[in-house]
Copies of this chain bind each other. A is one copy, B any other.
Amino acid sequence: MAPPRLLVLGHAAHDLVYRVPAIPARPVKVVATSMTECGGGMAANAAVAIARLGGRVTYWGRVADDALGARILGDLAAEGVDVAQARRVPGCRSPVSSILVDDHGDRLICSFTDPSLDPDPGWMPIDRVRDYDAVLADVRWPAGSERLLRAARDAGRPALLDADVAPAATIARLVDCATHVLFSEPGLQAACPATPAPEALRRCVRAHHRIVGVTLGAEGFLWIEDGAVRREAAPRVAAVDTLAAGDVWHGAFALALAEGHDTVAAARFANRAAALKCLRPGGRSGAPTRAELDAWQG
């Protein structure tokens, strides 16, 4: 059986990752013990995870027509991600993030996306959505995500939203387009402030949703499906680097759904892939291959 085909849309960036003893809680100076540069961005990281786990994956999104943009797409291509349809926008700067990772594996991410990156998604070859078994989009390019998620849903394909922190109106619009809404904890808090997770998820459910859930890091995945609250616990690991773990989760979950698994099995697969990533430093470069994940005893 041929591997499923997935389409991932959204944030691709170049990351500067600083290792620090502790992430400061106040605005001070901190001296990094090391620094590495690598590809990053939520959608791009998820695409790399899918490729490593054996899926065929295409990236749609925008970078600038600059040296950094070439590097961002080159890093994705080197991982086996099809970037032939990604857009290079002239006259602006490519997305860049600076990230602090501490010795507990926690990470502080500061991302910049040039506001002059043309938001118009009209260039996307949207009819090709039927070529894919599932699509995954994030919140960093709302116009693009909205167009893709709507088209995928209309075509009867799973339309997964990585619902991270964004303005409330943006989240609300994208939630309305997706079939599978996958909040981060901060994303869910932003969408439904001061509300316990199960109740917050309930408020976000629309009739066309297959599932609405939230990734809880070490606590696994909590979701509502057919009106019932479910939870799949994550393997317990001593994390050394949680950077990109959520993105790996989303990629693995999308791949498992596209392979035909049910939500429980997909959540278990994604929890394991993200946990194994957390055992390895280097952000998305720690994303596991399928063989590594199958062999892992965790």
For window 12-41 of chain A, which residues contact chain B by CB distance below 8 Å?
Answer: 16, 18, 20, 23-32, 34-35
Alpha-carbon distance A109/B29, docked complex (angstroms): 5
* A24 / chain B contacts, CB cutoff of 8 Å: 108
Alpha-carbon distance A18/B110, docked complex (angstroms): 8
Alpha-carbon distance A32/B109, docked complex (angstroms): 10
Q: Which of A94-102, A129-137, A206-214, A282-290 contacts B (4 or more CB under 8 A)?
A: A94-102
How close is A157's CB to chain B, nearest CB, in angstroms?
Answer: 28
By the criterion CB–CB under 8 Å, are B96 and A35 in contact? Answer: yes
In the complex, whether A106 has a CB less than 8 A from a CB of chain B is yes
How close is A51's CB to chain B, nearest CB, in angstroms?
Answer: 24
* A23 / chain B contacts, CB cutoff of 8 Å: 27
Alpha-carbon distance A106/B29, docked complex (angstroms): 11
Q: Which residue of B lies closest to A32 (CB)?
A: B112
Q: Name A30's contact: one of B16, B93, B109 (CB within 8 Å).
A: B109
By the criterion CB–CB under 8 Å, are A29 and B111 in contact? Answer: yes
By the criterion CB–CB under 8 Å, are B112 and A29 in contact? Answer: no
How close is A4's CB to chain B, nearest CB, in angstroms?
Answer: 29
How close is A171's CB to chain B, nearest CB, in angstroms?
Answer: 13
Q: Which residue of B lies closest to A102 (CB)?
A: B27
Alpha-carbon distance A102/B31, docked complex (angstroms): 20
By the criterion CB–CB under 8 Å, are B25 and A110 in contact? Answer: no
By the criterion CB–CB under 8 Å, are B164 and A18 in contact? Answer: no
Alpha-carbon distance A34/B186, docked complex (angstroms): 22
By the criterion CB–CB under 8 Å, are B186 and A28 in contact? Answer: yes
By the criterion CB–CB under 8 Å, are B111 and A31 in contact? Answer: yes
In the complex, whether A248 has a CB less than 8 A from a CB of chain B is no
Alpha-carbon distance A212/B34, docked complex (angstroms): 33
Known: A16-B16, A25-B25. A98 touches B112 (CB 8 A): no
By the criterion CB–CB under 8 Å, are B29 and A164 in contact? Answer: yes
Alpha-carbon distance A214/B29, docked complex (angstroms): 16
Alpha-carbon distance A32/B93, docked complex (angstroms): 14
How close is A63's CB to chain B, nearest CB, in angstroms?
Answer: 15
By the criterion CB–CB under 8 Å, are A111 and B32 in contact? Answer: yes
Q: Which residues of A contact B (CB under 8 A)?
A: 16, 18, 20, 23-32, 34-35, 93, 96, 98, 100, 102, 106-113, 164-165, 186
Known pairs A25-B26, A28-B109 / 15 extra A-B pairs, C-beta < 8 Å: A16-B16, A16-B96, A20-B110, A27-B100, A27-B107, A29-B110, A29-B164, A29-B165, A29-B186, A30-B108, A30-B110, A31-B113, A32-B111, A98-B98, A98-B110
A-B contact pairs, 20 of them (CB 8 A): A16-B16, A16-B96, A18-B98, A18-B110, A24-B108, A25-B25, A25-B26, A27-B100, A27-B108, A28-B109, A28-B165, A28-B186, A29-B108, A29-B164, A30-B108, A30-B109, A31-B113, A31-B165, A32-B110, A35-B112
